[in-house]
């Protein structure tokens, strides 16, 4: 089958009014990726060399998005919404190029499994002209039924048109179709619109192909493959299914999830074996974690690279550009952004490190901040190997703390510190005996006077 050429036609022209959103429905994300992109990735994984994206509502926005998630896809606009067969024919120019296989998918079914597409393509290679992917359910109410006779699919019947006997059928239409490229245009052009809505239905090609003596078959996939998204409740349902799949795969790959249902992955999360993830951790896009890391509870990680045996959190936030080397530690209530924390360095608590480098083995005390922004521009802070920054210090960038440098607690550092130097940047302490008692008495008297 790898020798066969394949075009995937992805229908993404629906308005999605039930989403109640200005954004086209298929651009709403699952695991941080537009749902239509999940469909694109499945098509590519099943060997589809070319993509035709049929768009309508929000066409310009869709084109801009497609340039990112499917840069090689050709886009076609369905000017009028006259049914699914009409939508597929919007990509007539692409279909006519002579592909062996044509896959027709919907941009709002993000859970489609590439294996289901591969099975459908295999049936085409074996001689079928049309392959319909269906699913079985004990509660088929509302779904079109797949009518089979003698191992062949003879019709797709909408429930309102089913006989009482046909309504008992539990094999239902999943929407996805595979069509032999040499037959595709002929079958699509034969579809009429003599129905209550005056629309051209893709499902009609099943009976048309049968009447032409062509082989039509159905394959079975899970219900999840056909799960379409029409509103935000269904969007959340699909997100939940995707996350459940990903959590299971992570655990099978050797990752420990203490309470799996509280951990949320992004579409591109990479996480190594022997990593332990505690409850309530969120991974945004662009996270790569090597082996043996420990991610403590309530941490939020996005766009970060974490080397082996690092220790993160609890309540840590790693923002894009955070790069932690081996055995680095970022502790509770710390935030790191666009900064490298080198091997064995510790950023323990209540600290912000942004636009910076923390050298190997350095220790950053509680309450330290790198003052990297002046309201207009960002500046860099470089903290050398083995440096010690005392608690509640402010490092005003651009500034360098040399190797082995020592910053006294409570300092505001505005000038670079040489290697192995000790720097103070705070006001001199004065102690006035008895002054504390005097102040308390004065304040108490003032407060009592206000109450009169």
Give residue-wise pLDDT tens across range 396-445: 999 999 999 999 999 999 999 999 999 999 888 888 899 989 989 998 99
452 located within any domain: no
Question: pLDDT: is 107 or 14 the higher one?
Answer: 107
The domain that holds 201 is classified in CATH as: 3.90.550.10
Has this prediction a pTM greater than 0.85?
yes
pLDDT exceeds 60 at position 222:
yes
163 located within any domain: yes
CA atoms within 13 A on the CB side of 151: 3
Helix residue spans in 376-426 (DSSP H): none
Residue 452: both structure tokens together: 């009169």
Taking the C-alpha atoms of 119, 121, 122 and 127 in order, what is their torsion angle to the nearest 10 degrees? 130
Q: 193 and 200 in contact (C-beta within 8 Å)?
A: yes
| Positive or negative: CA dihedral 330, 310, 302, 225 | negative
* 161: helix, strand or coil: helix
What is the Cα–Cα distance from 365 to 206, expressed in whole angstroms?
A: 70
416 located within any domain: yes
Q: What range does the domain containing 278 cover?
A: 254-423
What is the Cα–Cα distance from 58 to 75, expressed in whole angstroms?
A: 13
Is the domain of 213 the same as that of 177?
yes
Is the domain of 309 the same as that of 201?
no
- Is 349 known to be catalytic? yes
Q: Which of 28, 38, 57, 349 is catalytic?
A: 349
Q: 362 and 345 in contact (C-beta within 8 Å)?
A: yes
Write the DSSP string, 41-55: HHHHHTT--EEEEEE
* pLDDT for residue 257: 98
Give residue-wise pLDDT tens across range 321-362: 999 999 999 999 999 999 999 999 999 999 999 999 999 999
* pLDDT for residue 63: 85
Q: 242 and 35 in contact (C-beta within 8 Å)?
A: no
56 located within any domain: yes
Is the domain of 41 the same as that of 190?
yes
* pLDDT for residue 65: 82
Is the domain of 199 the same as that of 273?
no
| 314 preceded by a cis bond (ω within 30 of 0) | yes
pLDDT band at 366 (very low <50, low <70, confident <90, very high): very high
User: How far is residue 87 from each of residues 34, 52, 55, 433, measured CA to CA in Å?
Assistant: 21, 11, 9, 86
Tokens 């901040």 belong to 369
Is the domain of 162 the same as that of 23?
yes
Is the domain of 220 the same as that of 260?
no
261 located within any domain: yes
Give residue-wise pLDDT tens across range 119-148: 999 999 999 999 999 999 999 988 999 999
Is the domain of 54 the same as that of 141?
yes
In this structure, of 172-176, 283-287, 337-341, the range with the lowest mean pLDDT score is 172-176
- Split into its structural domains, the chain has a count of 2
pLDDT band at 2 (very low <50, low <70, confident <90, very high): low
Helix residue spans in 70-177 (DSSP H): 84-89, 92-95, 114-125
The domain that holds 419 is classified in CATH as: 2.160.10.10
Q: 51 and 7 in contact (C-beta within 8 Å)?
A: yes
448 located within any domain: no
Q: What is the enclosing helix (H) or strand (E) of 131?
A: strand 130-136
């Amino acid at each position: 089958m790898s020798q066969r050429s394949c075009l995937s036609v992805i229908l993404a022209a629906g308005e999605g009014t039930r989403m109640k959103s200005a954004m086209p429905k298929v651009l709403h994300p699952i695991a941080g990726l537009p749902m239509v992109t999940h469909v694109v990735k499945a098509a590519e994984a099943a060997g589809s060399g070319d993509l035709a994206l049929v768009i309508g509502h929000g066409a310009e926005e869709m084109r801009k998005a497609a340039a990112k998630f499917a840069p090689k896809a050709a886009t076609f606009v369905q000017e009028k919404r006259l049914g699914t067969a009409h939508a597929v024919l919007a990509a007539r120019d692409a279909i006519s190029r002579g592909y062996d296989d044509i896959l027709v998918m919907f941009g709002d079914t993000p859970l489609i499994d590439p294996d289901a597409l591969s099975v459908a393509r295999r049936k085409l290679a074996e001689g079928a002209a049309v392959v319909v992917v269906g699913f079985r359910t004990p509660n088929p109410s509302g779904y079109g039924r797949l009518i089979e006779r003698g191992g062949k699919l003879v019709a797709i019947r909408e429930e309102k048109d089913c006989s009482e006997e046909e309504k008992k059928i539990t094999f239902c239409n999943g929407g996805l179709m595979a069509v032999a490229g040499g037959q595709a245009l002929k079958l699509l052009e034969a579809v009429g619109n003599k129905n209550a809505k005056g629309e051209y239905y893709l499902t009609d090609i099943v009976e048309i192909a049968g009447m032409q003596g062509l082989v039509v078959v159905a394959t079975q996939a899970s219900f999840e493959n056909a799960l379409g998204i029409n509103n935000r409740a269904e969007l959340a349902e699909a997100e939940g299914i995707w996350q459940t799949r990903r959590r299971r795969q992570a655990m099978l790959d050797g990752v420990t999830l203490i309470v799996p249902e509280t951990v949320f992955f992004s579409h591109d999360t990479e996480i190594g074996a022997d990593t332990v993830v505690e409850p309530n951790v969120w991974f945004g896009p662009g996270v790569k974690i090597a082996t043996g890391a420990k991610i403590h509870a309530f941490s939020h990680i996005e766009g970060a690279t974490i080397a082996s045996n690092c220790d993160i959190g609890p309540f840590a936030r790693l923002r894009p550009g955070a790069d932690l080397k081996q055995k680095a530690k970022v502790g509770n209530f710390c935030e790191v952004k666009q900064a490298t924390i080198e091997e064995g360095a510790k950023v323990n608590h209540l600290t912000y490190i942004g636009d910076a480098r923390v050298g190997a083995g350095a220790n950053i005390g509680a309450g330290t901040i790198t003052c990297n922004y002046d309201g207009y521009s960002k500046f860099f802070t470089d903290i050398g190997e083995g440096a010690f920054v005392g608690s509640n210090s402010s490092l005003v960038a651009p500034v360098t703390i040399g190797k082995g440098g020592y910053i006294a607690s409570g300092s505001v550092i505005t000038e670079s510190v040489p290697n192995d130097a000790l720097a103070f940047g705070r006001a001199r302490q004065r102690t006035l005996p008895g002054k504390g008692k005097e102040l308390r008495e004065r304040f108490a008297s003032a407060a009592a006077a206000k109450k009169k």
